[in-house]
Amino acid sequence: MKVLVIGSGGREHAMAWKIAQSSKVQMVYVAPGNGGTALDQRLQNVAITDINQLADFAQDEKIGLTVVGPEAPLAAGVVNVFRARGLRVFGPTKEAAQLESSKAFSKDFMQRHGIPTALYQTFSDAALAHAHLEKVGAPIVVKADGLAAGKGVVVATTLAEAHEAVDWMLLDNKLGVQHVAGADGAAVPRVVIEEFLDGEEASFIVLADGKNVSVLATSQDHKRLLDGDAGPNTGGMGAYSPAPVVTPNVHAKAMQEIILPTLAGMAKDGIPYTGFLYAGLMIDSHGNPRTLEFNCRMGDPETQPIFMRLKSDLLEVLIHAADGTLDQIELQWDRRVALGVVVAAAGYPLDPKKGDVITGLPAEAEDAMVFHAGTTLGKDGKVLTSGGRVLCVTALGDSVRMAQQRAYEYMNGIHFDGMQARRDIGWRAIKAR
């Protein structure tokens, strides 16, 4: 079977890499792909990003399955377009993707269906937002409503920070957030101001086929730029799987109180959910998970360690997921821990530097792999940086510490100008032991 993976990040490299291991696969196309997918003999990049052109390509090439990596094409309706043309695709429709693309939609949804999350209020008027902040005080969380690639969130420890965040989100839109239509139909800047939740985060990702659900291995991301979880929020600086904070008890609660009611609620609201569903959990000291956010896709960089541990044939799994027969399979996992360290460009997250030559990339090993994200393959065969998060160096080990050691050792020879990487990925799990 020919497969099409849409996207260009580390997540899509990991998906395509894993799908290519299937005995059923004839060719894996990645649109548009990156330097890493260009280098891999089993993958082929296709320089298309327009949704209708992607559907044309899938039709012309007789693609048997298309999988969508990032949120932007999902929010733009790629699944709707593919389905309307009778093409097999795995992902949520545009309507279902609102769980991620509109914070206001997802918060209203959670409130309506009794899904545990932080208290919140939505504002488009800056004066009202400022007045609300004065009333509730800090710490407080201010979020831009719309797609901001994980960067439109300010966890403000002081009121001054919160006021500043409201101003730049509502008035300046420095991050270039894509605004989405609200209840009034207008796509204007909006902020969600929400209660600060204390606890430890984990990523809880499932596959939903409209009727059944399969749970992926748990993971934990590291959202802050710097060691010790300091510095600004990023798309994610590293992740490992499994996450010990998700004990069997937390796992059961996450399913019963969050995932299953969400899928049932979407079906009840007439927007059945298909695709990856990612619940970002905040787990309090009593082991109660609350939903920080939903993503309508897999996490990046969580996908890299998760798929490194997946022993099942991913193509087979995704076909079942697209066909509504997930009840016929069971996922098999490597018992080892996988840990991925993101190597980011100088200036990330605000203004990443591009065009630097990357040297010292190691060859794939049984227990380690460099997934590419913001890279391109130059005509001379050199690999160049082309985005904020450049690589995710991922390794397996018998413990978090051993996977961490292996990942950093494997990363050792890699170099480009101004590269940034945290040195402490996995620290919470190591400390917990």
Binding site for ligand AMP (CB under 6 A): 118, 141, 143, 150, 153, 155, 194-197, 201, 223, 233, 280, 292-293
When binding is defined by CB under 6 A, the residue of 40, 194, 221, 367 that contacts ligand GLY is: 221
- 225, 302, 395 from 202: Cα distances, Å: 17, 10, 19
Task: Say whether residue 295 binds ligand GLY (CB under 6 A).
Answer: yes
When binding is defined by CB under 6 A, the residue of 10, 210, 236, 349 that contacts ligand GLY is: 236
Distance in Å, CB of 140 to ligand AMP, minimum: 9
Distance in Å, CB of 197 to ligand AMP, minimum: 4
Helix (H, G, I), strand (E, B) or coil at 313: coil
Task: Say whether residue 300 binds ligand GLY (CB under 6 A).
Answer: yes
Distance in Å, CB of 236 to ligand GLY, minimum: 3
Nearest to 306 by CA among 274, 280, 329, 339: 339
Q: How far apart are the first and last CA of the chain?
A: 44
Cα(352)–Cα(235) distance, integer angstroms: 13
Cα(165)–Cα(396) distance, integer angstroms: 39
Cα(85)–Cα(212) distance, integer angstroms: 24
Nearer to ligand AMP, 44 or 173 (CB): 173
Binding partner at 299 among ligand AMP, ligand GLY, none, C-beta below 5 to 8 Å by kind: ligand GLY
Cα(318)–Cα(320) distance, integer angstroms: 5
Task: Say whether residue 302 binds ligand GLY (CB under 6 A).
Answer: yes
Nearer to ligand GLY, 146 or 236 (CB): 236
Cα(346)–Cα(365) distance, integer angstroms: 28
Outline where 61-181 has alpha helix (H). Answer: 71-75, 78-84, 98-101, 103-112, 126-136, 159-167
Binding partner at 153 among ligand AMP, ligand GLY, none, C-beta below 5 to 8 Å by kind: ligand AMP
Binding partner at 236 among ligand GLY, ligand AMP, none, C-beta below 5 to 8 Å by kind: ligand GLY
Cα(140)–Cα(350) distance, integer angstroms: 22
Q: Are 154 and 161 contacting, i.e. CB atoms less than 8 angstroms apart?
A: yes
Cα(153)–Cα(59) distance, integer angstroms: 39
Binding partner at 295 among ligand GLY, ligand AMP, none, C-beta below 5 to 8 Å by kind: ligand GLY
Structure token pair of residue 209 = 């086929």
Task: Say whether residue 10 binds ligand GLY (CB under 6 A).
Answer: no
Nearer to ligand GLY, 22 or 234 (CB): 234
Distance in Å, CB of 284 to ligand AMP, minimum: 11
Pairing mode of beta strands 2-7, 27-32: parallel
Distance in Å, CB of 97 to ligand GLY, minimum: 14
Give the residue at shortest CB distance from ligand GLY. Answer: 236
Distance in Å, CB of 348 to ligand AMP, minimum: 16
Distance in Å, CB of 259 to ligand GLY, minimum: 17
Q: Are 400 and 425 contacting, i.e. CB atoms less than 8 angstroms apart?
A: no
Task: Say whether residue 313 binds ligand GLY (CB under 6 A).
Answer: no
When binding is defined by CB under 6 A, the residue of 36, 69, 150, 352 that contacts ligand GLY is: 150
- Site residues for ligand GLY per CB under 6 A: 150, 221, 235-236, 295, 299-300, 302
